[in-house]
Amino acid sequence: MSTVHAAIDSPVGELTAVATDGALVGLYFEDHRRRPGDESMGPRVDTGFEETERQLGEYFAGERTTFDLPLAPRGDEFHQRVWELLTRIPYGETRTYGDLARELGGVGYSQAVGAANGRNPLSVIVPCHRVVGADGKLTGYAGGLERKRFLLALEEPSEAKEGRLF
C-alpha cells in the first residue's frame, strides 16, 4: 500500500490531499481538527493529484457542483454510511444532523451522526459543511466556522443572494 500527499492552494487556505494507491483518503485544512500526523500521510509528491486539483479549482470557481474522484476514506461501517449520505446532499442545500439520523434509522442517531460528520477525512469533497444544527445555525466544522460559512456562501443559489439586502 503506497500513501502519498500533496499540497493544493485554495481560497480557504492550503489543503493537504492524501491518496493511497491512487484513491483519495484525505483532504485536510492546515489547522484541521483531527488532522492525522504527517508521518501517516506518506511522502510529499509534486505529481499525481492533478485531477483533484483541477476539480477543486472548478468547485471554488463555481463551475463544479459534484466531484468525480476515486475515494477511499477510512472509517467504520457507520462512518462510511454517514459519509455516503453527505455525498447525497445537493450542492447549495443543507441538512440537519437529525435529518441524517432519520435516514439512518432514527433521531437517536443524531449525536453519532455528528461524531461521524466531525471525522470526515475528505473535507469539501464529502460535503460535511452542508450539515447544520436543528435550528439552522452553523455548528462545529473541522476547518472552523469561517471556512464553513465561506463554503456555504460559495454554494448559495444566485436567486437567494439577489434576494438579500446585505
Catalytic annotation, residues:
128
How many other CB atoms are there within 10 angstroms of residue 84's CB atom? 11
The answer to whether 84 touches 100, Cβ cutoff 8 Å, is: no
Q: And the C-alpha cell for 1? A: 500500500
Q: And the C-alpha cell for 11? A: 481560497
Closest CA to 1 of 33, 40, 27, 58: 40
CA–CA separation, 61 and 162 (whole Å): 19
The per-residue DSSP string of 100-111 comes to HHHHHT-GGGHH
Closest CA to 112 of 102, 127, 126: 102
CA–CA separation, 66 and 75 (whole Å): 22
